[in-house]
Amino acid sequence: METFAFAPAYELPSWPFTPPPELGETKIVRHPIVIVGAGPSGLTLACDLAQRGVRAVLLDEDDTVGVRGASSRGICYAQKSLEIFERLGIYERMAAKGITWSFGRTFSGEQEVYNFNLQANSVSRQPPFINLQQFYVEWFLVERILELGLTEVRWKNRVASVEQLHDGVRIEVETPDGRYTIEADRLIDATGANSPIRTQLGIDAHSSRSTDRWCISDVRFKKPLPTERWTWVDAPFNEGRGVWQHLMADGVWRIDYQMPEDCDTSYISKPEVAGARLREQLGPGVEFEFVWIGPYGYRDHLLDSFRHGNVFFIGDAAHVVSPFGARGGNSGIQDAANLGWKLALVAHGQASDALLDSYDAERQPAAQENLRVTSRSARFLAPLSPAEHTLRRAVVSLAARHPFARALVNTGRMSVANDYPSAPQLPEGGRSVQNLPLRWADGSETTLMQLLADGTQCIGLWLAPTRAEVEAAMEGTASLPLRLLAIGGDSGLPTLQPDERLTNHLGLRDAGSLVLVRPDAYRAATLPHATPEAIADALRTALARNTTS
């Protein structure tokens, strides 16, 4: 019987348990912000707050990152998430370690149906995607959080119970040295899909489970494969079922094989069975070693509201979607970026609690859209009826010859930054502004994210304003978190060089027009004729401040 080599397991870092100061104390200490869960969304939020000068306590029941056994889990980090990570200071490490890609191919049988290049419509400094094992991202975030120094990370601290108070949350925590109780003005639940906090509070997640089954093989090959995303709708080497193929860091390939619905998950994960699949795909002579093998089935859920009193839900605690298109982990990272600046402005006394309601108003519709998109992908990859199978065959056949049909081939619509609907703080709705490379008037360079990394404020990008307009606007917004920058002109403001790509992306047409960009790089307002009064009013609206504040 053939034996299969497994690559040496990753050595994940661990951090020591430190007894919290509240242990053994009778007086209950209150913290402004407590985050529970050191996964991607919880760590992103803690890092975001620390970058903004806001202290928080982060509780996690483990003392390491990722999953012991070092599976790949989430691997595809989308452009919006990468832009967030530039602002937080870990993007360069991710780019150096991970695999940058923008090109993908989709096959049906032996035939390439179509290909795509996600870079074509991008103006961002960041690429469309970087593939990197999730534990590396968590690792980089932890080290950045410790470097910033404002977050108290408590390892081996498991939340045993939570109680909503009229003005906060009471939390009982279990540690290796005993239990203690703390309170928080606001508690953020980032504990994942099986959130014990959500369960304890009796919040219905409206979960459903798919019968679709997959098996992941994380593999190293002696002979390199093309560094592209390849997807098969109906792979001949997998009995006509779907396959994804991605390269990650350390020369490890992740290959996902769709399995029969009634498969034995322990059997399909055996090395000899997984090895036979690989040889069926790549030929009998392929040389490889396994890093990890594991089955998965997916489910989805979506909370009716992501805010319950003083408890906020982010990431998988709030929403879970099927993994097609990398819309799960990226959405949780973007939840954190949406909530972080709002918590910071409230903590600094520059916004009221009403601003925090906009977190649910924006991110809940985003999760709804991701659920709709991924559910359609799931139906395409696992048709539920003979009619759906027939429709898929017709679409795939047409796509090879006709461009219009290619948009109908759905192997996973890749993650993008969600637009936000019209709301009290976003009268025009909100759209993400890409991380454009910018050039100052003196020729030096910066990016939008580098500008947004400096404090917590909105940025007003103003096309060729006059000195008189600038002076009046600065006087009218002096007490508000705003940084005004000019694009061209001689206004006395810090000035960026005019650039057609920049003005087109922002939608600025005429001199005197202004775009107000929020701290999360979403467009809050476009003012075709920016007056000092209009700027101040738009800013107060975006921050949920009344006009007399």
CB-based burial, 473-503: b 16+ in 10 Å, e otherwise? beebbeebbbbbbbbbbebebebbebbeebb
Domains recognised in the chain with CATH numbers = 29-98+130-205+300-381 (3.50.50.60), 437-542 (3.40.30.10)
Q: What is the per-residue pLDDT for 6?
A: 64
Q: What is the per-residue pLDDT for 9?
A: 62
Mean pLDDT across 140-161: 98
For residue range 267-306, list pLDDT tens digits in order: 999 999 999 999 999 999 888 999 889 888 888 999 999 9
Do 254 and 240 form a contact (C-beta atoms < 8 A)?
A: no
Q: Which helix (H) or strand (E) holds 47?
A: helix 40-51
Quickly state the pLDDT bin for 325 (edges 50, 70, 90): confident
- At 93 the three-state DSSP class reads helix
Quickly state the pLDDT bin for 375 (edges 50, 70, 90): confident
Backbone angles phi, psi at 477, to 5 degrees: -120, 15
Backbone angles phi, psi at 156, to 5 degrees: 60, 40
For residue range 472-514, list pLDDT tens digits in order: 999 999 999 999 999 999 999 999 999 999 999 999 999 999 9
Q: Can you give the pTM of this predicted structure? A: 0.95
